[in-house]
Chain A
Amino acid sequence: MSEQQHTQAVLLEWIRSQLSGFGDLEDKVLTIPAGQVSLLYIKSVTDGQAISRNIIAPFYEMGHPAAYYSYVADYPGSEEVTDGQRALDLLLSGYACIGREGKLCCFDVLRAEASSIKETITESISQGPSDALGESLAVNLNLVRRRYLSSALKMEFTVIGNVSKTKVAILYDESRVNHQVLAELKEKLDSLKLDILQAAGELEKYISSDKLRIFPKTIVTERPDRVVFNLAEGKVAVLLDTTGYAIVLPSIFNDFFTAMDDKIHLPFVGRFLKLLRILGVAMTLWLPALYIAFTSYNPEIVRVQIALLIGGSRATVPYPSFVEVILMMIMMEFLTEASLRLPRAIGPTATTVGGLILGQAATAAGLIGNIMIILVSVVAISNFLVPLNMMSFSIRVLKYFFVIAAAVLGLVGVVICLVGFTLYLCSQRSFGQPYFRMFALDVLGADQRKKSGGQ
Chain B
Amino acid sequence: MAKNRYFYCLFVMNTLINILNFTPRELIDARFDGAQSSILVAVAVGTLFIYLFTRVIHKFPGQGLPEIFGSALPKLLASPLIFVYAVLWYMAGTLILLSFVDITLRFISPDTGPYAIMFGFLAVVCLCSRIDSLSLLYGLEVTLGITIPLILYTIVKAIINPDFSWDAVLEVMTHSLHAPDLNSIAAATFTFSGYINMAVFNRVFHGLKLKHLWILSLEGFLMLLITFFVPIGYHGTVGIERHVYTWFSTADSIRIEAFLIERMLYVFYFACITLSLVSAIIQWHVGKELLLSLLPSPSGKPKTKLLQELVILVLFASGALALMRLDQYNLNMLGVFLQHIRWYGEMLMIGLLFWCYWVVRGRRE
Name A's B-contacting residues (CB within 8 A): 297-298, 300-304, 306, 405, 408-413, 415-416, 418-420, 422-428, 434, 436-438, 440-441, 455
Contacts and interface: CB of A to CB of B under 8 A. Distances in A.
Interface string B239-264: 00000000000000000000011110
B109 interface: yes
A297 B109 contact: yes
Contacts of B293: none
21 contacts: A303-B262, A409-B116, A410-B108, A412-B109, A412-B117, A415-B270, A416-B121, A416-B123, A419-B124, A419-B128, A419-B143, A423-B131, A426-B139, A426-B142, A427-B132, A427-B135, A434-B138, A436-B142, A437-B142, A438-B138, A440-B145
Interface stretch (B157-165, B271-279, B302-310): B271-279
Contacts of A302: 260-262
The binding surface of chain B is classed by DSSP as: helix
Contacts of A423: 128, 131, 135-136, 139, 278, 281
B347 interface: no
Given A422-B143, A437-B138, A455-B1, A416 B109 contact: no
B5 interface: yes
Interface in B93-147: 104, 108-109, 111-112, 116-117, 120-121, 123-124, 127-128, 131-132, 134-136, 138-139, 141-143, 145
Contacts of A422: 139, 142-143
Nearest to A434: B138
B120 A408 contact: yes
B109 A298 contact: yes
A418 B139 CA distance: 11
A455 B108 CA distance: 41
B216 to A, nearest CB: 18
Contacts of A428: 135
Nearest to B129: A423
B266 interface: yes
Of A301, A405, A440, most B-chain CB atoms within 10 Å: A301
B138 A412 contact: no
A436 B135 CA distance: 9
B117 A306 contact: no
A418 B278 CA distance: 11
A426 B261 CA distance: 30
Nearest to B266: A301
A415 B260 contact: no
B120 to A, nearest CB: 5
A322 to B, nearest CB: 14
A416 B124 contact: yes
A416 B277 contact: yes
A412 B273 contact: yes
A412 B108 contact: yes
Nearest 9 pairs of A and B residues by beta carbon: A426-B139, A427-B135, A426-B138, A427-B131, A423-B139, A423-B128, A420-B124, A419-B277, A426-B135
Contacts of A438: 138, 141-142, 145
Contacts of B120: 405, 408-409, 412-413, 416
B112 A410 contact: yes
Given A301-B263, A416-B123, 14 more contacts: A302-B261, A303-B262, A409-B120, A411-B108, A412-B109, A416-B120, A419-B278, A420-B123, A420-B128, A423-B278, A423-B281, A426-B136, A426-B138, A438-B145
B260 A303 contact: yes
Given A303-B262, A427-B135, A419 B274 contact: yes
A294 to B, nearest CB: 10
Contact of A418 (B1, B104, B135, B274): B274
Contacts of A410: 108-109, 112
A419 B135 CA distance: 13
A55 to B, nearest CB: 57
Nearest to B144: A438
B215 to A, nearest CB: 16
Contact of A415 (B112, B128, B145, B277): B277
A408 B121 CA distance: 13
Interface in B266-299: 266, 270, 273-274, 277-278, 281
Contacts of A424: 128, 131
A411 B143 CA distance: 17
A272 to B, nearest CB: 19
Contacts of B111: 297
Contacts of A301: 261, 263, 266
B265 to A, nearest CB: 9
Contacts of B266: 298, 301, 411
A412 B141 contact: no
B112 A409 contact: yes
A71 to B, nearest CB: 58
Contacts of B123: 416, 420
Contacts of A425: 139
Contacts of B142: 422, 426, 436-438
Given A423-B128, A426-B136, A303 B273 contact: no
A306 B260 CA distance: 8
Contacts of B127: 420
Contacts of B278: 419, 423
| Most central of A408, A410, A434 by chain B CB within 10 Å | A410
A151 to B, nearest CB: 33
A450 to B, nearest CB: 15
A216 B116 CA distance: 32
Contacts of B128: 419-420, 423-424
Of the listed residues A300, A416, A418, A419, the one surrounded by the most CB atoms of chain B closer than 10 A to its CB is: A419
Contacts of A405: 120
A411 B270 CA distance: 9
Given A416-B123, A420-B124, A426-B138, A411 B131 contact: no
A411 B145 contact: no
A107 B127 CA distance: 59
B108 A298 contact: yes
Nearest to A411: B108
A277 B14 CA distance: 32
Given A301-B263, A418-B274, A408 B116 contact: yes
